[in-house]
């Protein structure tokens, strides 16, 4: 009797950790299944973020450690990010105090809060601050600290000190990567730390990630998926990923672009 997918998955990942690469014919022989079954397994494991499928087999998934400059990121998946920001803004109620993490997705929330006079936003993102000064009628609290010029945010002990003094209703955190293995990740240790602190200081935390982030691991760990309860992504999120998240009791909001 052939092995179940979960047992094949365990054997495949063990071989990958040991050898760094696996080949379809070798796995098919070892696991006594067809080459087509192995290809389907590798495709599924690729979507889950466990490995990278290549011609004839698969290789270890290398973490993506270099983040693009902020200005470039604003042009990537812009339609999806705008939809996610609108969906997130719809979850903010009058009277809410909200933390917004840094990123080109979370800033889109501000564009949809033009009527929210009774909302307080707290952020360490300078682009978010500048946009809020132009269009947001509510209360703004900017977290001070050392400026990260590349990512246009602040960080360090001063930022930590302010965050530890605050408690909010909701936090919206932008993810650099989302993996079933590595959970929610970011590109920089400092940003990952602030994201964790914001989540800890909020009654409800929402992870924002367009579908290009699914199955990707970046440099710094924010939290495991078991710590995530609400997730906002775009309409291109695959049925498999919706099921993966649902299986972990994560509520998924799908943002539809106009």
Q: What is the DSSP string of 17-57?
A: HHHSEEEHHHHHHHHTS-HHHHHHHHHHHHHHTS-EEETTE
> What pLDDT was estimated at residue 197?
97
User: Residue 53: which pLDDT band, with cuts at 50, 70 and 90?
Assistant: confident
- 3-17, 22-36, 87-101, 209-223: which range is least confident on average? 3-17
First to last CA, the chain: 50
> What pLDDT was estimated at residue 69?
66
Q: By the 8 A CB rule, do 216 and 49 touch?
A: yes
Residue 229 has pLDDT above 70, yes or no: yes
The CATH number of the domain covering residues in 5-59: 1.10.10
- 132-141, 199-208, 214-223: which range is least confident on average? 214-223
Of all residues in the chain, the percent with pLDDT exceeding 70 is 94
> What pLDDT was estimated at residue 149?
85
> What pLDDT was estimated at residue 155?
94
Closest CA to 179 of 75, 30, 62: 62
Q: Give, in degrees to the nearest 5, the angle at Cα 63 between 60 and 67.
A: 150
Q: By the 8 A CB rule, do 187 and 220 touch?
A: yes
Q: By the 8 A CB rule, do 233 and 84 touch?
A: yes
Residue 24 has pLDDT above 60, yes or no: yes
Closest CA to 245 of 258, 231, 256: 231
- Per-domain residue ranges of the chain: 5-59, 70-255
Residue 61 has pLDDT above 70, yes or no: no
Closest CA to 6 of 62, 50, 58: 50
The conformation of residue 249, written as its DSSP 8-state character, comes to T
Q: What is the value of pTM for the model shown?
A: 0.77
User: Residue 66: which pLDDT band, with cuts at 50, 70 and 90?
Assistant: low
- Segment 177-191 shows an average pLDDT of 91
> What pLDDT was estimated at residue 230?
98
- 50-64, 82-96, 154-168: which range is least confident on average? 50-64
> Which architecture characterizes domain 70-255 according to CATH?
3-Layer(aba) Sandwich (3.40)
Q: By the 8 A CB rule, do 94 and 169 touch?
A: no
């Amino acid at each position: 009797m052939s092995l179940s997918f979960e047992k094949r998955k365990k054997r495949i990942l063990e071989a990958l950790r040991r050898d760094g690469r696996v080949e379809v014919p070798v796995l098919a022989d070892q696991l006594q299944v067809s080459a087509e079954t192995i290809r389907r397994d590798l495709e599924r494991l690729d979507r889950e973020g466990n490995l990278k499928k290549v011609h004839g087999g698969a290789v270890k998934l290398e973490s993506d450690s270099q983040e693009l400059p902020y200005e470039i990121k604003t042009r990537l998946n812009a339609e999806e990010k705008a939809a996610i920001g609108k969906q997130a803004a719809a979850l903010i109620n009058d009277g809410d105090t909200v933390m917004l993490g840094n990123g080109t997705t979370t800033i889109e929330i501000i564009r949809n809060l033009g009527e929210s006079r009774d909302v307080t936003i707290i952020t360490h993102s300078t682009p978010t601050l500048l946009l809020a000064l132009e269009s947001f009628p509510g209360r703004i609290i900017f977290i001070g600290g050392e400026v990260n010029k590349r990512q246009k945010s602040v960080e360090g002990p001063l930022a930590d000190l302010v965050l530890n003094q605050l408690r909010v209703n909701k936090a919206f955190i932008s993810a650099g990567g989302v993996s079933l293995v590595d959970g929610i990740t970011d590109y920089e240790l400092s940003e990952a730390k602030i994201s964790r602190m914001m989540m800890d200081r909020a009654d409800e935390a929402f992870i924002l990630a367009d579908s290009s982030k699914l199955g990707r691991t970046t440099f710094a760990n924010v939290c495991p998926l078991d710590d995530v309860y609400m997730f906002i992504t775009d309409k291109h999120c695959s049925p498999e990923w919706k099921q993966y998240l649902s299986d972990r009791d994560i509520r998924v909001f799908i943002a539809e672009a106009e």
